Structure 1
Amino acid sequence: MYSGGRCYKCLPEYYWKQVYGEVKGTGTNDRTGKVECQIVYVCPPVFINSGFTVVEQGYPPLAPFEIFETFDEACEFAKQHFDV
């Protein structure tokens, strides 16, 4: 079964949640009100290290990406690389 490009027969829902990470915050453009990015928490077994990363809204972390130890470090990265 496919939905949104995902194969649920091969990979169950819990796997996709691990791939996308757990959303811990969003970066919203002050002028447009549009969510530009998400700060997600990722961890093994899908990722080698645990930590926070910044992704475009609705996308999983795609290599190469940085993993930050703290939420605040991820927020600073989001401010520098997205219009938030």
Structure 2
Amino acid sequence: MTIEEFDAALSALGWKIADFCRMTGLHRNTPSRWRAEGVTIPEWVPKHLGLLQDLQRLHTAYLVPPSPKAGEVPGS
């Protein structure tokens, strides 16, 4: 995973780097090291973010009611 892919995955989830660190238990400086020092992003990170994106898609597809279409009365 590149740093650009990491940023895009966080953006797709609506997360900031601080959110990612808090949710994963990483030190807040760890992603900065990936970015500034070229430290390799661990293999689990893209897997973890991919699973979270899959869950978000499933949630949207099956649990979020669709928006009414233009001119449609909700509940009809």
TM-score tier, shorter chain, comes to under 0.3
Larger relative contact order (CA 8 Å, sep ≥ 6): 2
TM-score by length of structure 2 reads 0.27
The structure whose Rg is larger is 2
